Amino acid sequence: MKIVKQWVQEDSDYIREKVIEYNQKHISDEEKKPSEKISFIVRNEKEEIVGGITAITFWHHVHVDFLWVSEEYRHEGYGSKLIKLIEEF
Task: Find residue 42's DSSP bridge partners.
Answer: 51
Residue 51: in which H helix or E strand, if any?
A: strand 49-58
pTM above threshold 0.75: no
- State residue 7's pLDDT score: 85
Write the pLDDT tens digit of every residue in 34-52. Answer: 678 899 999 999 999 999 9
Mean pLDDT of 1-29: 86
Cα radius of gyration rounded to whole Å, the chain = 18
What pLDDT sits at residue 28? Answer: 78
The CATH code that applies to domain 30-88 is 3.40.630.30
Max CA distance (Å), the chain: 60
Which of 45, 47, 43, 40 lies closest to 70 in space, CA to CA? 43
pLDDT band at 32 (very low <50, low <70, confident <90, very high): low
